[in-house]
Structure 1
């Protein structure tokens, strides 16, 4: 608090059920430097001092929202009032037929500093969808004591999340299925394929829900109509499983610089590997990236967007604003996109994450990471490659509480569980599993991992390995494993 020079007043909510233990003492300490008010006092102050209503203009700045900082220092994005409202109006066109306004509820648990959570909450207030707030640590029954988890308690109709959340749910679901007998496993996996096929042809498919998928639906309250995923590409197998065992998963694409949303699928869209059609709030085009052999004439290129939802510039950074925004208002997203035959947008990768290998060909790091997350052994993965390599390598994140179980499943002998992560037999078993994933998903040799090292401590925003939006902080992950990473490079024959 001693470093805070500009803040003079602090406002807090009084809990109607009584202040938690220690709060009164903490508030008294704050009073020594700041003017402290309750929200009720502020309301009374407003009533006693009425002023003329001042309605903001559409072009006026509504807020400064900071980017996640996955590749560097977060940037302050200037978002206007019309930017926020045009996004709300844009998504309303797409999903209004699937919502009962005034009745449906959404579970919100991502930080409101993340643009996905912010624009969804704004849309709920705009349209009349009820919001129930939870936290990532209290979502499920397993994460709380003597009460229900947030999902079971609220029983939402809509839920949002980032790919890492859905990857974790998928892994947990499939591990439970794989513990079942042969007949149950066969029935489950066959039902997933059958339901997706029937859904693709717009045929009745919900008859399986009460038999095969009852447990998975009950675990989320039994009322989900659809879930929203965003922040990064989600793997097709994750979306396929969610569509069958839970509810339709719609994939959206957005960024802070576009007030949160650029394109989105509709809940009855049965296709995969795309982020839907552009929202009415923007116009969109693909621009050539010749160095990576992406050309707009082939329906591929860097995604550029323009419209009322596009930001007004970066806070105190005119140079970067000029690099990102063209004079005629096009935002260069840095994402590489491709048009599908149905006119939907598919995200191939980030322009900055396209890496040229020693062969002269490019590989897409984020797309590869999404594919390798099909492995049920890993929690997360960060792939590295450069122009010296013929194949990439990776740092693999495995939940420390699961390492011993994985070692036992693969017949790896060990004396001390804390040493398994560096056990050569264990590392080889993980690499072999990831190489099987590569083969099953049709990856080329130059996209197949040559080597891995293992980090047994879960990456999270708390230890600065992930952003608040659960994206990899590549530089921090690389620096944390510097010596081990260099040893892996040496084992690959690199200096």
Structure 2
């Protein structure tokens, strides 16, 4: 039997790689494991229960929860009826929930806990279309998700077969609302074939099999982790769900995974913590640490750096980098990075430490993977997002350098918005990504910037802000930054310091640390940041250099509305919020 719809993955794994720990999560400090058979049985019960609630093909069911096995069980339960899942981030606003429930025509909602239950109850007040809200945790006064499963507990799963047979590969599997930086979110229609083709296209390049474990912590409501979920099912990889982002470090040591997916921001934090610990060392240990780090920063997957370098790197791996691998559990074969640009220095140092980071690229609208760097060094070019995966076409527009892509991974369109769909997918089936890029060495795709985010100075020069921001963030003192200067004489930057890094610096220099707000006004601190900026400017063209900067006292967050769920900066919102600070630099 071939996998043509995502729910086929259940019977595929059951037949080829039945696992005792297909899915696992911590409950009361213990890892609770669900076998492949448990997952299939529970998904069947949910399908049968939802059918009793009146859910049928093409009906919309929302899932709002952090990652946990229940998310997956409900997802498969929805799919087997030919219904459409509408996953949402737990962090979005009540207004966004209300808009999506109305726009998608959601009938039933599954939520994680009491906080989300209250939020969704407020969002659905007065909405007659919502038939029920079910919680994964036990919540006073709320219906529990197990009630849906119990409705189908005694029915024959064979009754689902004609319903499953009626689901075509080109039917909509899921509606994912993208959190645009402007206007209302748009519903991306992804089909079963979109996700299946993407997992099969990426599968040969992810070095995992049925003997391996994955740790999952990126949101399942985002298509990146969702596609990997299905890829893990196909390969028979056991999936362990992290307790929270804060506990990822602990869970890595406990689970000892062979693979996990992440966004660059988390790798930056891991790196900064490692460097901070290195700063605390003294004497020979400190010298060895920074010697190893310097070696790592010179690493290149594409170059043979000679016998001496290789011998030094072997020694560095034996005495320094082995501790880095232990911190990730000791078994990691690959780390898949996506969602934003990865700083090349991070890729270099992790590869040098035998932690193979595979940077990839894609969009919600492309299910998501367009290209990914490979696990083998000879097919991995640091600073690029790798070659296109199997079945995916990529070309660069000769007019403006925009990346275009075509293939079975392209969405069906934006839900109820044919005009917007026609704007992004042309008559020949090419999807216009909105990213600017180039192809290096005939196969490696390199992203240079967002088409819409390019700044144009009053002198007529175009500036790619992301590239400059990544250069600035190479400093251990810079946590977040946004380059500004559209229509101005020069580029400037808003900077949120890494306050932990700043405290370490002050301690090292014997500077008394008072408060975050106070420290960013001190002349000696401003001088230090100027030196960090001067260092980044050395690698930039004259018209790109940062002429002025402003330090800000508070981190930008998803909750404050300044970051997207993928941790990208919302430029329009930050520009409006900090207009006084920006204007003062001009």
TM-score (norm 1): 0.84
Select 1:160's aligned residue among 244, 253, 261. 261
Q: What is the CA-CA distance between 1:251 and the residue it aligns to?
A: 0.8
Aligned to 1:233: 341
Partners of 2:541 and 2:510 in 1: CA distance = 29
Instruction: Tell which deviates more after alignment, 54-63 or 170-179.
Output: 170-179
Select 1:384's aligned residue among 484, 489, 511. 484
1:30 is aligned to 2:30: no
Cα RMSD between the aligned structures? 2.7
Conservation of the 8 A alpha-carbon contact between 1:188 and 1:212 = yes
Instruction: Please list every run of 5 or more consecutive structure 1 residues that lacks an aligned counterpart in the other structure.
Output: 14-18, 141-148, 291-300
Aligned to 1:437: 536
Select 2:405's aligned residue among 305, 325, 348. 305
Aligned to 1:296: none
Select 2:424's aligned residue among 324, 331, 336. 324
Partners of 2:494 and 2:509 in 1: CA distance = 20
SS at match of 2:517: helix
1:173 is aligned to 2:285: no
Select 1:393's aligned residue among 489, 492, 515. 492
1:379-426 superposed Cα distances (whole Å, 9 cap, x missing partner): 11111121222x211111124455444455567677655322234543
1:40-76 superposed Cα distances (whole Å, 9 cap, x missing partner): 4133164499353333212111111122324554321
1:349 is aligned to 2:349: no
Partners of 1:275 and 1:197 in 2: CA distance = 13
Q: What is the CA-CA distance between 1:481 and the residue it aligns to?
A: 2.2
Partners of 1:343 and 1:130 in 2: CA distance = 33
Aligned to 2:569: 472
Aligned to 2:87: none
Partners of 2:578 and 2:422 in 1: CA distance = 36
Conservation of the 8 A alpha-carbon contact between 1:177 and 1:184 = no
In the superposition, relative to structure 1, how do residues 380 and 62 fare at CA in structure 2: closer, same or farther (>3 Å)?
same
Conservation of the 8 A alpha-carbon contact between 1:400 and 1:457 = no
In the superposition, relative to structure 1, how do residues 72 and 403 fare at CA in structure 2: closer, same or farther (>3 Å)?
farther
1:448 is aligned to 2:560: no
Q: What is the CA-CA distance between 1:434 and the residue it aligns to?
A: 1.9
1:184 is aligned to 2:285: no
Conservation of the 8 A alpha-carbon contact between 1:274 and 1:346 = yes
In the superposition, relative to structure 1, how do residues 48 and 116 fare at CA in structure 2: closer, same or farther (>3 Å)?
closer
In the superposition, relative to structure 1, how do residues 256 and 415 fare at CA in structure 2: closer, same or farther (>3 Å)?
closer
Aligned to 1:8: 131
Q: What is the CA-CA distance between 1:485 and the residue it aligns to?
A: 2.4
Aligned to 2:558: 461
Conservation of the 8 A alpha-carbon contact between 1:404 and 1:417 = no
1:81 is aligned to 2:192: yes
Conservation of the 8 A alpha-carbon contact between 1:9 and 1:36 = no
In the superposition, relative to structure 1, how do residues 446 and 247 fare at CA in structure 2: closer, same or farther (>3 Å)?
same
Select 1:256's aligned residue among 364, 367, 372. 364
SS at match of 2:391: coil
1:241-261 superposed Cα distances (whole Å, 9 cap, x missing partner): 111125111110111010110
Partners of 1:60 and 1:308 in 2: CA distance = 13
Aligned to 1:334: 434
Q: What is the CA-CA distance between 1:239 and the residue it aligns to?
A: 0.5
Conservation of the 8 A alpha-carbon contact between 1:431 and 1:449 = no
1:418 is aligned to 2:517: yes
Conservation of the 8 A alpha-carbon contact between 2:214 and 2:260 = yes
Q: What is the CA-CA distance between 1:109 and the residue it aligns to?
A: 0.2
Instruction: Tell which deviates more after alignment, 195-204 or 443-452.
Output: 195-204
Partners of 2:301 and 2:386 in 1: CA distance = 19
In the superposition, relative to structure 1, how do residues 69 and 354 fare at CA in structure 2: closer, same or farther (>3 Å)?
same
In the superposition, relative to structure 1, how do residues 473 and 117 fare at CA in structure 2: closer, same or farther (>3 Å)?
same
1:60 is aligned to 2:60: no
In the superposition, relative to structure 1, how do residues 289 and 175 fare at CA in structure 2: closer, same or farther (>3 Å)?
farther
Partners of 2:530 and 2:151 in 1: CA distance = 59
Conservation of the 8 A alpha-carbon contact between 1:196 and 1:240 = yes
Aligned to 1:485: 582
Partners of 1:227 and 1:36 in 2: CA distance = 33
In the superposition, relative to structure 1, how do residues 351 and 3 fare at CA in structure 2: closer, same or farther (>3 Å)?
closer
Partners of 1:464 and 1:45 in 2: CA distance = 46
Aligned to 1:282: 392
SS at match of 1:44: coil
Instruction: Please list every run of 5 or more consecutive structure 2 residues that lacks an aligned counterpart in the other structure.
Output: 1-120
